[in-house]
Amino acid sequence: MARHLITSALPYINGIKHLGNMVGSMLPADVYARYMRQRGHDVLYICATDEHGTPAELAAKEAGLPVGEFCAQQHHAQKAVYDGFSLAFDYFGRSSSAQNVEITQTIARELKANGFIEERSIRQVYSNADGRFLPDRYIEGTCPHCGYDKARGDQCENCTRVLDPTDLINPRSAISGSSDLEVRETKHLFLLQSKLAGEVAAWVDEHGKDWPTLASSIARKWLNEGLQDRAITRDLDWGVPVPADTWPDLAAEGKVFYVWFDAPIEYIGATKEWSDLDPANRDWKSWWYDVDQTVRYTEFMAKDNVPFHTVMFPATLLGTRDAWKKVDYVKAFNWLTYYGGKFSTSQKRGVFTDAALELLPADYWRYFLMANAPESDDTSFTWEHFAATVNKDLADTLGNFVNRVLSFSRKRFGDEVPAGKAAGEAEARLGEEIARLLAEYEEYMDALQFRKAAAALRALWSAGNSYLEEKAPWLEIKTDQEGAALTLRTAMNLIHLYAVVSEPFIPASARAMRSAFALADDTAPWVGQEEAKALASVPAGTAFTVPPVLFAKITEEDLESYRVRFGGAPEQAGGGASTGVETEGKPVE
């Protein structure tokens, strides 16, 4: 089978992420990776914390910690949350790793050797109050394009336009708040994107034609506006150092690479981190170097990350003239909003991932987010919609089916799957319907259309309920005990099938369903079409147990407590709702 390299946007280090960040990158990547593993593919799912840049330094300063110690603590805190969400990374690395430093510096040297990096004198904002040059994100002001008064010096999070610090109106220091700023001359390295624009455009034309419209349109918009040469170094204490053997003067000044230069390279760096843990059995280059025809690479990200992944990172790799693997498919997402407005930490509005896990198990959130993934447009999270989805789809359609089938069968036939008569016309119809719906589910999952896949999965669950209502074993048993046994045996086989095919969306619940049956050789990763039609994977005589209730309903009292804790509908749902994570020029990663 094919080898699949999967990466999701790197979560930035300065704090726990909210649900919009989860559904915009890591969760769909995990669902897809799980599904592809089940289908027999060789999968490597790589992610990492993105640890460089201004916000990391500012957050560490606020916490009163050295930035390295702060990042280490936050890495472990974020990883614990992702473990709680059952994100099955093959490796979750750190962009501050020695491997990423090595590869980033190597790529920079190659770009210089090929004429795509040059040193330029520029005029940069200097804060007299702080006694230092200010990196882009240390400067705040009013966006000249949309008027947002808290725009940062490299990107406006409201309109997402990329900025230079000198573009800002009424700029001020993000450190001291001082407006005593002046422009002085200093030197930085520039990636000459203008010289690579034609190659990037040709590459997007070739590879982007099959991307979702959201991803391809953003990439082409940037290309049509013209690629500008981009400064790729900053004046910071924390980051990948400019190598002294290539740029001794800049290295002596303490320049580091811009976070958006080294962060995508960390996909490669994290793979090397993974490889270095077991070098005898893992080869990071087999995933990243000279593998265009043997590896399919899929990236997952929210829309505000698309330009960097579809333009800047490809330009970086193309400019090396080396055979680095570049992305084949970019799965981009719109934004998840909170009642149409922004998630806000300061205003205590919206649900963050650690708090979500305090309320309810991960599967509740995983299913809801994927069933309502913001694929074609922004999606608004509301507690009312969340409760309705959980109660109808998970509690009533799936959970109730599992509980009533197993409980009724144990009560009337004991702790083994009953035999009953041979399958009849109703079972044949059911098998055909299940096989059809399973094929539909596979089609949508293969195409990374997650909302449609969730709808097909829901239809599979509903088919079981329709069969149960048609056969009504609670009535059937009064006149045809063997017929009722057949109905229950068939329904138990549906439960097992649901356990297998639901695993990408609700892995913990899938394990509970599958482990209900004492099947010694139950290792099949997927359900084939003929197997789905037969519905005979769980034979008569198999011992079973009744698992605890899979999904508890959310009550109106629960809803009221959630609204009080997290906020209800904002009085004014601000426009341009973003993922709300403050980062170095990238609100998601």
Binding-site members for ATP are 345
Q: Which of 163, 120, 126, 122 is closest to 141 using CA atoms?
A: 163
How far is 371 from 359, CA to CA, in rounded Å? 19
18 residue type, one letter: H
Residue with tokens 């702790």: 415
Residue 556 structure tokens: 């109106």
Q: Which of 1, 38, 37, 586 is closest to 266 using CA atoms?
A: 586
For residue 384, give the 3-state DSSP assignment.
helix
Residue with tokens 């698992």: 547
Binding-site members for Zn(2+) are 143, 146, 156, 159
Whether the Cβ atoms of residue 53 and residue 153 lie closer than 8 Å to each other: no
How far is 550 from 505, CA to CA, in rounded Å? 14
Query: What is the chain's Cα-based Rg?
Result: 27
Buried b / exposed e over 267-295, threshold 16 CB at 10 Å, is bbbbbbbbbeeeeeebebeebbeebeeeb
Length of the chain: 589
Binding-site members are 143, 146, 156, 159, 345
Whether the Cβ atoms of residue 312 and residue 259 lie closer than 8 Å to each other: no
Q: Spell out the SS3 assignment of 445-503.
A: HHCCCHHHHHHHHHHHHHHHHHHHHHHCHHHHHHHCHHHHHHHHHHHHHHHHHHHHHCC
Whether the Cβ atoms of residue 536 and residue 414 lie closer than 8 Å to each other: no
Q: How far is CA 210 from CA 200, 205, 238, 405, 446, in A?
A: 16, 10, 38, 44, 13
How far is 194 from 161, CA to CA, in rounded Å? 19
How far is 68 from 47, CA to CA, in rounded Å? 19
For residue 151, give the 3-state DSSP assignment.
strand
Question: Which positions ≥6 away from 123 have C-beta within 8 Å?
Answer: 166, 183, 184, 185, 186
Question: Which positions ≥6 away from 442 have C-beta within 8 Å?
Answer: none
Note the Cα 161 to chain centre separation in Å.
23
